Amino acid sequence: MKKNWLKRPLPSFCTSNFDVIKTILIYAKFYKLPVLVECTSNQVNQFGGYSGLKPKEFYKKVILLSKKIKFNKKYIIFGADHLGPLPWKNLNKKNAFKNAKNLLKSISREKFKKIHLDTTIACGNEKKFNLDKVRSRFFELFKAISKKKLKNIYLVAGSEVPYAGGGDLKNNISKLNDVKKDYSIYNSIINQKKFNKREFALVIEPGMFFTNDKVFKPNFKNLKNISKFSRKNHLFFEAHSTDYQKIDVLKKLVKSNFKFLKVGPELTFKYHQSIKSMLDIEKRYTPSYFRSNLNKELNRIMKIKNKYWKSYYKGSSSKINFLKFNSLLDRIRYYWNYGPVNKSKEKLFRNIDRVPKNYIQKKYLIIDGKTKNIFKKYKMKNSELIVFSFLRESLLKYYKACGFKVFY
């Protein structure tokens, strides 16, 4: 019988980077762990999103990857984040929700088991936007899911306060009264389908966030009464923007009734760190005329298509250039799928894979004996090994915080 992993706390890996997803699957295979992999409506939708993938394509690509490394697909849970008007917030309400409903139907067809419905976003040039509209629009989306599909879906409602991928919210921490109001709104809607106190999760903001160079912890004092309320009402929480938090903080979140710990930018930031390491190796061991010129391609495409970073990075030109390649917000993650960038990245990987493995391990990676067991077992290429070595600590941290027995 297939185990329902959604009954327990889980790390939620929100990324459409398949080098990162592959690393997660390899790590999870070693320990026989479940993998909750999620995509946002901006990353993946019926028009392709910024990843260039539709829901069916994203699902198939992850399953194909799992087959290649012989990872049991029964351990994979697919989630969809911020389903609602988010990608089409500049359209009027009618057209935005038409797209949102079509995406929701597509997602529910493709065996996505965890769905976050987010109607907290105004459409077009709406001047009046209040809780009544949030509620009526949530119900509108909720009705778009068939009863048959809904039985197998774990619902998440609401939205985090900061913009996706980090932000500043010192004055926007969720209060108990806010949580009670949100719970009342969403619970009354869900109960209209007569699920008899069906369990669901609510996205709240505990006060944690990160900026270009700083990470702020949650306000656990504020969470005490909120956690008590949630336990009384069989309500769970989903934490967004948990990136870069220490394991003790993540463990406290789980104890405070956060069932899902969502992480994204931290994973792609570590991925970028691994790329930097590979570029250093390439510079030393590959003749200049055979090099990938990856940073040159990244600079070129980020200059042409600046919408993903321009409003996030401020200051002098030298500071902006530094942030583009070093910010914790990791806005560079939006560019890995662009054709010329991806082509240069693959060339970099090929160059690194030609370098003697023993030499790389001795000179560039600090790997303990236990970690060697993992990459020896799966016969990783040099490029895969380097990505794995940079991501391993993050994966260990999240699984351990959620109560899984992982050791390295």
Q: Averaging pLDDT over each range in 163-167, 292-296, 374-378, which range is the top one?
A: 292-296
Asked whether the predicted pLDDT for residue 196 surpasses 80, the reply is no
Asked whether the predicted pLDDT for residue 210 surpasses 60, the reply is yes
Q: For residue 139, what is the enclosing H or E element?
A: helix 131-143
| Residues recorded for the chain | 408
Average per-residue pLDDT for the chain: 90
Asked whether the predicted pLDDT for residue 368 surpasses 90, the reply is no
- The model's confidence at residue 310, banded by pLDDT at 50, 70 and 90, is very high
Asked whether the predicted pLDDT for residue 363 surpasses 70, the reply is no
Asked whether the predicted pLDDT for residue 128 surpasses 50, the reply is yes
* Residue 1 confidence (pLDDT): 44
Share of the chain above pLDDT 70, in %: 92
pLDDT tens figures, 318-356: 999 999 999 999 999 999 999 999 999 999 999 999 998
Share of the chain above pLDDT 90, in %: 73
Superfamily name and number for 268-401: putative tagatose 6-phosphate kinase domain like (1.10.400.20)
Q: For residue 37, what is the enclosing H or E element?
A: strand 35-40
Tell me if 5-265 shares its fold with 268-401: no
Asked whether the predicted pLDDT for residue 295 surpasses 80, the reply is yes
Superfamily name and number for 5-265: Aldolase class I (3.20.20.70)
* Residue 83 confidence (pLDDT): 95
Non-local (6+) Cβ contacts of 31 within 8 A are: 399, 404, 405, 406
As a three-state string, the secondary structure of 191-210 is HHHCCCCCCEEEECCCCCEE
Asked whether the predicted pLDDT for residue 313 surpasses 80, the reply is yes
Asked whether the predicted pLDDT for residue 108 surpasses 90, the reply is no
Asked whether the predicted pLDDT for residue 68 surpasses 80, the reply is yes
Asked whether the predicted pLDDT for residue 377 surpasses 50, the reply is yes
Q: Across residues 272-300, what is the average pLDDT?
A: 95
* Residue 162 confidence (pLDDT): 46
Q: Across residues 136-140, what is the average pLDDT?
A: 91
Q: Which of 184, 191, 189, 110 is nearest to 152 (CA)?
A: 110
Non-local (6+) Cβ contacts of 344 within 8 A are: 292, 293, 294, 296, 297
* Residue 59 confidence (pLDDT): 97
Where are any strands of DSSP class E within 190-289?
Answer: 200-203, 209-210, 215-216, 235-239, 258-263
Domain spans, the chain: 5-265, 268-401
- The model's confidence at residue 38, banded by pLDDT at 50, 70 and 90, is very high
CA 256/CA 241 separation, integer angstroms:
16
Half-sphere exposure (Cβ direction) of 402: Cα atoms closer than 13 Å: 27
Q: Note if the pTM is more than 0.75.
A: yes
Q: Indicate the pairing of strand 215-216 with strand 154-157.
A: unpaired
* Residue 370 confidence (pLDDT): 61
- The model's confidence at residue 369, banded by pLDDT at 50, 70 and 90, is low
* Residue 164 confidence (pLDDT): 46
Q: Across residues 206-230, what is the average pLDDT?
A: 94
Asked whether the predicted pLDDT for residue 389 surpasses 80, the reply is yes
* Residue 163 confidence (pLDDT): 45
